A and B are shown apart, each in its own frame.
Chain A
Amino acid sequence: MQDHDQEPDDKFLSELYTGLSQEQPRAELDAKILAEAREVVATGKLEQYAARKASGPFQGRWTVPVSLAAVIVLSVTVVVMIERERPYSLTSSPETPRIEPATQQSQAIQSELSQAGETQAGIEAQPAERLPKKALTADQSREESTESDRTQAAREKQMDDRPLSALAPAPVAESSATENRAAVMAKKAAPLSQTEAKTEAEKPEPAPAAAAKPSVPVQEEMAQAAVPADAVAETGANRSRQMQDLAAAPVEKKISGSQSAGSVASKAPEDAEGIAHSPAVMSPAAIEHQHPLCLQMTEQACLASTECVLQQQADSKSYQCRAVQNACERGFAQSLHNQEDCERNPQCQFIPADCYCPPGAQCVCGGGAPAMCVPKPENH
């Protein structure tokens, strides 16, 4: 290993080199280096202890298993939550809303309409007794709405478990009361409209506090009151979306959709003016009677219904469920996209859906108008 077979001259060279002075580093440098060596060892022990202490109980061999377990638990939780959040998914769950045949829907809606009609007749007979009570101060009405909200929430919870197919008519008294209240609020919210003027004139006592109330809170209350959990099981997202749509809609439009409780029969011809040109126009009374029920429907139910039409608002692009307004719309279920059903009536024209995506469905695009069946434009 060592290369020491040196020649005599090499040895002489090494001895000569060894004879050179033996330089040493200064003592200060020695002390400095040794001190650093000691210090590093001392602090290194402390650092190791501190690192071990700071690392916590999940460091070391438990890091990976704990991390994996946490990731798995989180993933499963998220998947379960997503599945629960999409009860109306068209792809998987057994709770997927089945599109009922138009006849069943129609029957259910008809029975509900008939009951609602009876109740409204009773309401119209005694408007002076009920309306002033509703038209109290803003605080009182808020308290009432809070109580009714609680009741509605409990009812919604019960209804959430019911399948969509069980679209049973709601208890008429409650429904009518809600409609009545919504109508009153809507009237309060539109002081400048003709409807307001007429309604106020019919009231035995004016409600100054309510009249002075700004329209936005009234809209909110109206939106809350107009969405009772009577008709269908709906998701929280659908519910909130519907409420937003209602709140965002113009006040007068809502009023026209909530006029069922008021005695607005005299106004009906004015409302019908817009569709008077159509050869398949319905009677205004029928339109008004059906409005509240349609307002309560979810998008899914509205699409399946042959008595209500889901329409996209031109300005806000939101969807509103309204009653059928003509013979073309009556009997046409938007969810079926059946062009033949529509055009069976030669005066009707089928307009296919324009990038409409029903709630809970997975679509390529969305935000457009659903399929419609409308009267053909007259050729002058």
Chain B
Amino acid sequence: MRQVRGVNFVRSQHTPYDNASDEELMTHYSQGDAAAFEVLYHRKKSALYRYFVRQRCQVALAEEFAHEVWLRVINARQSYLPAAKFTTYLFQIAHNCLVDHFRKLSTSHEIDCDEQFIDGVAGNNADDPEALAGNMQLQRALLRLIQELPAEQREVFILKEEANLSIEEIADVIAENPETVKSRMRYAVKKLKQGLQEYRNR
């Protein structure tokens, strides 16, 4: 089981909610406990933020979307029922937010990331300078390949990598058939691999 990325915040004090599940935290919050929401927010904020950033390549827009999603969660606290996984619930809201946005703009899901954004996103977590340079190149290539994916495939791939959701959960989030999701995922991975291979062969 992979660790969910973005849960890297450091809390100096142990709170009674450290071992609580996301669903328990949201239930506590719906009963009026703001501290539970704080813990929950810190667990999920990075994944949600990157879900937007990696799809739109615009920091300001991503912050706006993230804010909107969290506000919806806050306002819907009374009607929240822990029937499904909270992550699924959260990314369902995020998906709907994006769909509303595209519908409002009447534009396609296609985006155009500039080089500066890609340079900023490319990681630098290699110690060896050569490896660092190679990794950065690969990461830049990966980012570019992700942006070149069709929107549906891109979203499925990001949901899997960022939110660590299964095929079924992703299908719930985007309201599609799991087979469709699996197909999209397969195509996305295949394209990324081919792209990276081509990049390596250069």
A residues at B contact (CB < 8 Å): 1-4, 9-10, 13-14, 16-26, 29-30, 32-34, 36-38, 40-42, 44-45
Contacts and interface: CB of A to CB of B under 8 A. Distances in A.
A33 B70 contact: yes
A19 B49 contact: no
A34 B161 contact: no
A130 B59 CA distance: 108
A3 B166 CA distance: 6
Contacts, number: 104
Nearest to B160: A3
Nearest to B49: A25
A30 B123 contact: no
Given A33-B67, A38-B34, A2 B192 contact: no
A45 B74 contact: no
Given A1-B168, A20-B122, A37-B74, A32 B67 contact: yes
Contact of A29 (B8, B66, B124): B66
6 contacts: A10-B189, A13-B142, A17-B142, A23-B59, A24-B49, A33-B74
Question: Taking chain B's interface residues, is the majority helix, strand, or loop, or is none over half, making it mixed?
Answer: helix
Interface string B19-43: 0000000000100111001100100
A9 B190 CA distance: 10
A324 B46 CA distance: 105
B71 interface: yes
B87 interface: no
A44 B37 CA distance: 15
Given A19-B125, A37-B41, 19 more contacts: A2-B1, A4-B1, A13-B189, A16-B196, A19-B123, A19-B139, A20-B142, A21-B120, A22-B50, A24-B6, A25-B46, A25-B49, A25-B63, A30-B45, A33-B66, A33-B71, A40-B75, A41-B29, A41-B32
B34 A21 contact: no
B123 A34 contact: no
Contacts of B160: 3
Contact of B8 (A13, A17, A22, A45): A22
Contacts of A41: 29, 32-34, 37
A41 B26 CA distance: 13
B139 A20 contact: yes
Contact of A16 (B8, B139, B167, B168): B139
Nearest to A38: B34
A21 B122 contact: yes
Interface centre among A17, A18, A38, by most chain B C-beta atoms within 10 angstroms, is: A17
A41 B142 CA distance: 42
Contacts of B38: 34, 37
Interface in B36-86: 37-38, 41, 45-46, 49-50, 53, 59, 62-63, 66-67, 70-71, 74-75, 77
A220 B79 CA distance: 71
Contacts of B196: 13, 16
A49 to B, nearest CB: 12
